[in-house]
A = this chain, B = another copy of it.
Amino acid sequence: MKAVVRDESDAGGSPPRESLLSRAVRILEAFDAGHPSLPVAAIARRADIPVPTTYRLVGDLVDLGLLERGSDRRVRVGVRMWELASRSSEAVSLRDVAIPFMDDLHAAVRQHTQLAVLEGAEVLYLERKSARGAEAANITRTASRLPWHACSSGLALVAHTSVTAQEMLLSARLEQLTSLTVTDPAELRRQLAETRYRGYAAVHGSVHEQAAGVAVPIQGPDDQVVAALSVIVPNEEGRVAPVVPALLTTARGIRRALAAGHVPADRPV
């Protein structure tokens, strides 16, 4: 019987290797804001991976620092994971550049302000400034997602993608989150055109019936739209228009800082 040589350099594209990495990611995905720490058995269930395999993979991920084991044997995402993500990702740089500007916008409009990017058919919120005094409800959190068609950031971002990309997104199932969520492709197509034309997106009650979102695109150094900046206001007549100039001004400030390629001081002192 021939000895089995497990040579990685020879294993190109074989299912076991791919499934190992994707299983490791599924284990990391088992954690979220509602489940910041989990026993291994719960990780196995949530990740849909056999318990013994989960035990071993969790052990490996703990050894690498990507997961941490608490004194109660529960497991959580490790600080090493945050460090690897924070040292160099484009999202983090964008966030660092945008935050001081968002602070200023937030101080001026006194409503929830958000920074988001498009990830597939969803909007991923990179940052959210919330205020005790804000009038509108807002269910987003930092690192949370919403479907693109339900939020102003989504419209602002999708409006600046290619027609092909737009049609692909419009042909998928569009979830009805509230009675006011627009899911008709023709109406969304019209709203995308309007968003491009007037330079901002406004969405009324699509996520929460009492809230409206207003979003503008942020352009990167090469004029590509890299993110959306949004403000949540009460879903009432005449609340959108007053925040649009502040949003447009702030988005231009962030664009200028991105072009200058440096992170400004956190605030003028």
Interface residues of A (CB under 8 A from B): 1-2, 4, 6, 8-9, 11-22, 24-25, 28-29, 31-33, 35-37, 50, 52-53, 56, 60-61, 63-64, 66, 68, 76-93, 96, 106-107, 110, 117, 119, 124, 126, 129-134, 142-144, 265-269
Shortest Cβ distance from A33 into chain B, in angstroms? 6
Secondary structure call for the A interface: mixed
Residues of B within 8 A of A77 (CB): 84-85, 87-90
Can you show 26 pairs from A to B with CB atoms below 8 A apart?
Answer: A1-B2, A6-B14, A9-B50, A12-B52, A12-B56, A21-B24, A29-B84, A31-B84, A33-B88, A35-B88, A76-B88, A77-B84, A77-B88, A79-B89, A79-B126, A81-B84, A82-B85, A82-B126, A82-B143, A83-B124, A87-B143, A87-B144, A129-B266, A131-B269, A132-B265, A132-B268
Residues A36 and B90 in contact in the complex (CB < 8 Å), given A77-B84, A117-B79: yes
